[in-house]
Structure 1
Amino acid sequence: MPVPKWFDDGKIGIFIHWGPYSVVGAKKGDRGYAEHFPRLMYDEPDYYYPLLEQRFGAHPPEFGYKDIIDHFKAENWDPDQWASLFKDVGATYVVFTAEHHDGWANWDSDLTPWNAMDKGPNRDLVGDLGKALRKQGLKYAPSTHRERLPNHFNLREPGERQSLL
């Protein structure tokens, strides 16, 4: 597929990674990104388990990533406000991660029960943002990282790092 003209010509684009991992909002130094938390929390228990214990009162195996999803509510999220802000700063397009490596879908997915309509926010975040962006005349390109899901939580030797690229 050719790259759309609006993508090449866009001066400012907004790329959003947002999901249950945002509830914790933690990462260890320069190791990965916050959205890699779902896997890193199991890879580096010495660092992440105390954070989980402090924040939620438990850690794996009693409390795992699936339990964080209940805390991802997006209760203050206003897609119209986001779209207006993006337009005001000069963005011409927005790419929102519809589904990240953790298997969480920010949309009303039939592919997984782990989605924003059935759990957490109980709303279609991808659809709501799309409507708001279109009202502002912005281009919208939801992305999915589902192809990386099978390797995201696979077991490795302690300390062995798997490339996420």
Structure 2
Amino acid sequence: ALLDAGADANKEANYGTTSLIWAAQIGDDHCVKILLDAGADMTVMMTQVDDDALTALMAAARYGQTDCVKTLLRAGADAKKVNNDGQSALIFAAQGGYTDCVKTLLAAGADADKAERGGWTALMLAADKGFTDCVKTLLGAGADAGKTRTDGRTALMIAADKGFTDCVK
């Protein structure tokens, strides 16, 4: 009804938030498809109060919305795109422990070893939270277990420091 009445699918609210970003974030895949069909721009990057700039793909990955991630990728979203902090959709998915999103993004060409500005890779973030399935998935995709953060710490050191034995194994 709203789009039919002329509502702008690309209208931005505070912090650059769009309807597409909101729909992707809450996992409403049907709404995402409708907005994409109406010409919603997937490249818009919102900035939130917590300073994480997010595209619709990053928002979907951050909240584990695998169906929306798949829809956005099929529509041409860039799995390798990063925000100003160097964070990608893969970084957000791994940090949340969303293994299905991680698998989907890796299959779409996301770089398993791409680090954000502080040197954290998806593998390190998954290890930091004890997300063993994500750790295994990233390692299976070729993530470098020996890569170091800016402070010299590896994913193994991070997992050991937190006591995540299953990740350490």
Answer yes or no: same fold by TM over 0.5: no
**Structure with greater helix percent:** 2
**Which structure is richer in relative contact order (CA contacts within 8 A, separation 6 or more)?**
1
Name the structure with the higher strand share.
Answer: 1
When the two structures are superposed, what TM-score results if normalisation uses the length of structure 1?
Answer: 0.28
